[in-house]
Structure 1
Amino acid sequence: MSDQPAQPKKPFLYVVVCASGIASDVHKLITAAQKQGWDLGVIATPLGLGFIDASAVEAQTGYPIRSAWRSPGDPRPLPPADAIAVAPATFNTINKWAAGISDTLAVGILCEAYGLGIPTAVLPYLNTAQAAHPAYRQSLDRLHEMGVLIGSYDPHRPKAGGGADRFHWEEALELLAPEVLGRA
């Protein structure tokens, strides 16, 4: 028997990454989360996987990136989530999630999180033309009604990309901290 006190379990954060030009900066969120005492794993949408440096992300988190369902009987590669951050969240993922269209592992996890009561924050990243579509506003309203914490972002101009300097990765952690700490 050890005389050492047990180390407290770090909260585990799932970071859901979508197909977006700024997804390559997800290391900023990973670094900030680790500095705040989170353990984390990344779940990428199938297309989002092509926007990140998978080897670097896996080395930084210590876990494999998930982007597809596992086969029955395969071990779960990530511990259960204490919280989820969706960053960057695309127009497509936001609308599918709000509609309950669970056609990818990433959106499936988000749809289940509601029923499991897992605190979830979303940081949208899209352009003004997409943000003008009525489905987007309705989707944000539905997610808000579901208790999803929605970050702020001013959409960028269509066909221009950009806005990476205005995307505040740490906002997901700021939104989730009261939810996760309040449950401890």
Structure 2
Amino acid sequence: MSTRTLYLFSSAAPPVFDIARVIEDAQADGWDVCLGLTPTAARWVVESIDGLATLTGHPVRWEYKLPGQPDVWPKANAILFAPATFNTINSWAIGLTDKFVVGVVAEGIGKGIPTVTMPCVNAAYVQHPQFEQSVATLRSAGVTVLYGEGGFVPNQPGQGNPSSYPWRAALDAVNNL
């Protein structure tokens, strides 16, 4: 069994409902997976939290630990943040770390942890000028952003198909880091 640890982080977007299958796929690729969620994503999958913790063998996290509490996860060898919403991408790029998972990936840049992210945003959101700036900022910081051809291609508002989210492309990118 490999000792490579993957932090798998997800925002509240419909592909998060496939996260158990993604964990199993990552484990089949040889990763020890630790799952982190935004608070809204945690609410979306609240009924599955215990099962997801059992599947990974680690507590599912969505909040910062309190000062003095031990870290319950092993150190990450890589991070995959998918799906990453419009809010998550922009918050991360400008350094707003009020959410645990965004704080970890922001710090991960400085720690040199190889990181992949794949947005899940609709075509209306990507028209906002901050989104392209945020993608460029993350890429310039060394984050692999799977956006556009070969990654996530935005759909029209209300026309997304969560089952077509390219999870395998995201896992392959992490495996190729």
Note whether the superposition's TM-score is higher than 0.5: yes
2:17 maps to 24
Question: Where do residues 27-176 of structure 1 align in structure 2 (5 Å cutoff)?
Answer: 27-52=20-45, 53-151=48-146, 152-158=151-157, 160=158, 162-176=160-174
Give me the whole-angstrom Cα distance separating, in 2, the residues matched to 1:170 and 1:81. 20
What amino acid sits opposite 2:29 in the alignment? Q
Verify the 8 A CA contact 1:155 1:163 in the aligned structure 2: no
1:163: how far off?
Answer: 2.4
User: What is the CA–CA distance in structure 2 between the aligned matches of 1:46 and 1:157, rounded to whole Å?
Assistant: 26
Question: How many angstroms apart in 2 are the aligned matches of 1:167 and 1:56?
Answer: 23
- Larger radius of gyration between Structure 1 and Structure 2: 1
Structure 2 Cα separation of the partners of residues 172 and 127 of structure 1: 18
- Residue by residue over 1:43-76, the C-alpha shift from the partner in whole angstroms, topping out at 9 and shown as x without a partner, is 1111110122212211210111111111122121
RMSD: 1.3
Distance 1:23 1:164 in 2: 9
Runs of 4+, deviation exceeding 3 Å: none
Length-normalised TM-score, structure 1? 0.88
Provide the C-alpha distance between the structure 1 equivalents of 2:93 and 2:22, rounded to a whole number of angstroms.
Answer: 24
Cα distance in 2 for partners of 1:161, 1:50 equals 23
Asked if the contact 1:17–1:43 (Cα under 8 Å) also holds between the matched residues in 2, the reply is yes
Identity of aligned residues (%): 35
Unaligned 5+ runs, structure 1: 1-7, 180-184
Number of matched pairs:
171
* Distance (Å, rounded) in 2 between the aligned partners of 1:65 and 1:27: 12
TM-score, normalised to structure 2's length? 0.92
